Structure 1
């Protein structure tokens, strides 16, 4: 099993409840086990700032999936929960990003690891530092290297 870190966020509907629903759906996914979860924090929007504040958290998981397979699982859960992508960095019912997968550096048409903006986002780094400070430091180090 590989270790990976997922960033979750929501700012429409009942964001905290949606994060908890996403955690339950991930926990019920075959070949995936949640190892640690951060606190849920409130954060200002990033990118498009004229929208509701977000609730965010990070999960550390063990997975049998490849990085692309894990991304597909996350996107499938977003779709199952009713996410419709209408605006880049816009409001959302749920967002599940693969932040890091082991210490793999990857750039493919569908996935970049570590997440290309993780080092700029306090709403990712704060919760990540809570549960995996070494991984947060590694991500910041990759961006400044």
Structure 2
């Protein structure tokens, strides 16, 4: 059984509903009573593409799925919710990123864990700290040491989660 953390993001087709639906789908991958999700936060999009603000969250759960099987399941959920991969950092109905898989370091052509950009992204660190404030990253860095008030100020609370 592996403890995993997944970042959720959406900025098209009613983003809050997209995250709620994604949480329902993620529940099917989770071991009984292990699922938790952060509050939802609004954030400014990355990159130079003109688009609406995002709604972001992080879910944590235990799963029996191996890393690549979990990645396949996450991509299937994205596709079921209308994800189209046209433009890097472009608008999307749903983005699910595997942030952490237990304490493993994974570096394959399809999957990098910990997620390569998580340390610099307020929309990942703040919601992750909501559900795992004592988390220690695989390189022994405490999550709390990566957080500061300016990171928290980049986000606006959008909604408390509905699926737990």
Report if the CA contact (8 A) 1:8-1:95 is conserved: yes
Q: Distance in 2 between matches of 1:60 and 1:6?
A: 6
Deviation at 1:92, TM superposition (A): 0.2
Q: Distance in 2 between matches of 1:89 and 1:133?
A: 28
Report if the CA contact (8 A) 2:104-2:138 is conserved: no
Are residues 74 and 82 of structure 1, via their aligned partners in 2, closer, same or farther at CA, if it must alter by over 3 Å?
Answer: same
Paired position in structure 2 for 1:106? 106
Paired position in structure 1 for 2:80? 80
Q: Distance in 1 between matches of 2:31 and 2:48?
A: 32
Deviation at 1:103, TM superposition (A): 1.0
Deviation at 1:32, TM superposition (A): 4.6
Q: Distance in 2 between matches of 1:104 and 1:13?
A: 34
Alpha-carbon RMSD across the aligned residues, in angstroms, is 1.8
Structure 1 position 26 matched with structure 2 position 14: no
Paired position in structure 2 for 1:138? 137
| Number of matched pairs | 140
Q: Distance in 2 between matches of 1:46 and 1:37?
A: 23
- Alignment gaps of 5+ in structure 2: 143-164
SS of the aligned residue for 1:42 comes to strand
Deviation at 1:51, TM superposition (A): 1.3
- Alignment gaps of 5+ in structure 1: none
Paired position in structure 1 for 2:160? none
Paired position in structure 2 for 1:53? 53
Report if the CA contact (8 A) 1:9-1:19 is conserved: yes
Report the TM-score when normalising by structure 2: 0.79
Normalized per residue, which structure has more helix? Answer: 1
Q: Distance in 2 between matches of 1:50 and 1:17?
A: 22
Report the TM-score when normalising by structure 1: 0.89
Q: Which protein shows a greater Rg? A: 2
Q: Distance in 2 between matches of 1:48 and 1:91?
A: 11
Stretches (4+) displaced over 6 A: none
Report if the CA contact (8 A) 1:119-1:139 is conserved: no
Report if the CA contact (8 A) 2:105-2:114 is conserved: yes
